Structure 1
Amino acid sequence: MNIKEKHKIRNIEPEFGKNLYSVRESYWIFYKGIRTMKYMFEAKRKKELSPKFIERIMLAVTEVNGCEICSYAHTKRALESGMSNEEIKNMLSGIIDDVPTNEVAAVLFAQHYADTRGNPTSESWQRIVDIYGISKANGILGSIRSIMIGNAYGIAWSSFFNRLRSRPDQRSSLLYEVSMMLGIILTPISIIHALISDLFRIPIIN
């Protein structure tokens, strides 16, 4: 499947979803990630998700969001998990031909999740639950939301350091980068918010 076909299936324009996340969006990305990250670790411990599976999901999300620093970090982790250079290169180019058949639905959902800026359709989520079962589906969601945290903040940091090297990200501005860095002070509030939501059993996805 080439990148043009992939975007046709996702029913979006190729650049949609690559706009920078606002401080407000980043707060909710962090909140959702904190609430579901544990399911990724649990699924990995129960061997429902292999390291390769998790890295494919994370590379798929990173490709949509266009995070340079995350691409570098997860390329290294993907290689360590046993993925080939060619598959990693394809994933970061939006080509999923090398993805095992039983993982394709999860990878496409990961792309959809990032495309919709963390607001997937209820039908797409239900399909993941139907295919993989609730435990594995929650692990997939936890993997997606974990890398969404990295992408949201990683893009700002990447843009800032590239600016210092006279290679500014055309999507970004110095004001945006500084506001995102300062926005990190909201993370303790987000963690408390997540813990309270767990305490009151608020659904992890609507």
Structure 2
Amino acid sequence: MMTQYRSLEMSIRRWWRREDGSLTLEFLIYAPLMFFTFLGTLAFFDAFRAESINEKAAMTIADMLSRETGYINDTYVDGTYGLLQFLTRGDATPDMRISVVRFEEKMKGANTTSKDRYRLVWSEARGSGVHVAMTDEEAMTMLPKLPTMTQDERLIVVETWSNYKTFFNLGFNIAWNTTGNDASEAKPPENILLSSLIFVAPRVGLAQTCFNNTTVEANRIC
């Protein structure tokens, strides 16, 4: 009996120490995992690349506006929108909104109910029409997104939105928490809305923050 137990024990040890065999089972287990890992890495890299391009395009436009020494008009805004389309490329009809806002400090005194806020100077929007020009009421809600400044200081605010279509539906719309420009409109699950908000102070003077479609000085909006 002891001989049988010893023989069984030796057989188990030999089987445990064996290094020959087939990796078919291990391959079947790990191959799908490796495939989806590489696939997800590629898809996430391309999504973040598109987001970076969208952000840099908005920064380029904001910097260009901050260096402008003349008045802004419809032709200038149209050309700026064409630049956005050229830089992003992934979306044929991205949305763009350029706004100039002015900071108002709260009034001093115990009997006042005023508070720090931004006032709209002018705003222009281009694109699909989903995003329209900023209103004064919307400008008043921008303080959490914009820095606190001194009285009457101005900011040029550039906002962009573009749809990015992923190669594979890996739940990116959940990660970015959106599926398109309009939440009420059904969008493919692989669509991601990439948005950016860039603000910059004028570098030259008041003229670059004014909007004027004519040559008449009195028609400027500052």
Q: Quickly name the TM-score band, shorter chain normalised.
A: under 0.3
More strand by share: 2
TM normalised by structure 2 equals 0.23
More helix by share: 1
**Which of structures 1 and 2 has the bigger CA Rg?**
2
TM normalised by structure 1 equals 0.24
